[in-house]
Amino acid sequence: MSRPVQARRLEGIDKNIWVEFVKLAATYSKVNLGQGFPDFPAPDFLREALTRALSGGNHMLHQYTRAFGHPPLVKVLAQFFEKLLGRDLDPMTNVMVTVGAYQALFCCFQALVDEGDEVIIIEPFFDCYEPMVKMAGGTPVFVPLRPNPPKDGKLMSSADWQLDPAELASKFSERTKAIVLNSPNNPLGKVFSRGELGLIAELCVKHDVLCISDEVYEWLVYDGKQHIRIASLQGMWERTVIIGSAGKTFSATGWKVGWVVGPDRLLQHLRTVHQNSVYHCATIAQEAVAQGFQRELMLYGKPESYFVQLPKELQQKRDWLIQSLDGVGMKPIIPEGTYFLVADISPFKSDVPDVPNSDEPYDSRFAKWMVKNKGLAAIPLSAFYSEAHKNNYTNFIRFCFAKEEATLKAASDILQKWKQEK
Ligand SMILES: Cc1ncc(COP(=O)(O)O)c(CNOCC(=O)O)c1O
Class of residue 297 by CB neighbours under 10 A (exposed 0-12, middle 13-18, buried 19+): middle
Compute φ and ψ for 261, nearest 5 degrees.
Answer: -125, 135
What number of H helices and E strands is found in the chain? 13, 15
**ipTM tops 0.90:** yes
Pocket residues for ligand 1 (CB within 6 Å)?
35-36, 100-102, 126, 182, 186, 214, 216, 245, 247, 253, 258
Class of residue 349 by CB neighbours under 10 A (exposed 0-12, middle 13-18, buried 19+): middle
Compute, in angstroms, the gap from residue 17 CA to the centroid of ligand 1: 13
Predicted TM-score (pTM) of this structure: 0.97
Q: What stretch of H or E contains 259?
A: strand 258-261
Whether 258 contacts 102, CB under 8 Å: yes
**Cα three-residue angle 157-158-164, rounded to 5 degrees:** 115
- Terminal-to-terminal C-alpha distance of the chain: 56
Compute, in angstroms, the gap from residue 101 CA to the centroid of ligand 1: 7
> Which distant-in-sequence residues (6+ apart) come within 8 Å of 88 by Cβ?
82
Q: What stretch of H or E contains 24?
A: helix 17-28
Residue in 216, 219, 381, 400 to alter for ligand 1 test, most ligand atoms within 8 A of Cβ: 216
Reading the chain (422 residues) residue by residue, the pLDDT tens digits are 788 899 999 998 988 889 999 999 999 999 999 999 999 999 999 999 999 999 988 999 999 999 999 999 999 999 999 999 999 999 999 999 999 999 999 999 999 999 999 999 999 999 999 999 999 999 999 999 999 999 988 999 999 999 999 999 999 999 999 999 999 999 999 999 999 999 999 999 999 999 999 999 999 999 999 999 999 999 999 999 999 999 999 999 999 999 999 999 999 999 999 999 999 999 999 999 999 999 999 999 999 999 999 999 999 999 999 999 999 999 999 999 999 999 999 999 999 988 888 889 999 999 999 999 999 999 999 999 999 999 999 999 999 999 999 999 999 999 999 999 98
Q: DSSP letters along 61-127, please?
A: GGS---TT--HHHHHHHHHHHHHHHTS---TTTSEEEESHHHHHHHHHHHHH--TT-EEEEEES--T
Quote the distance between the C-alpha of residue 27 and its chain's center.
25
Compute, in angstroms, the gap from residue 74 CA to the centroid of ligand 1: 21
Please count the other Cβ atoms lying within 10 Å of the Cβ belonging to residue 43: 17
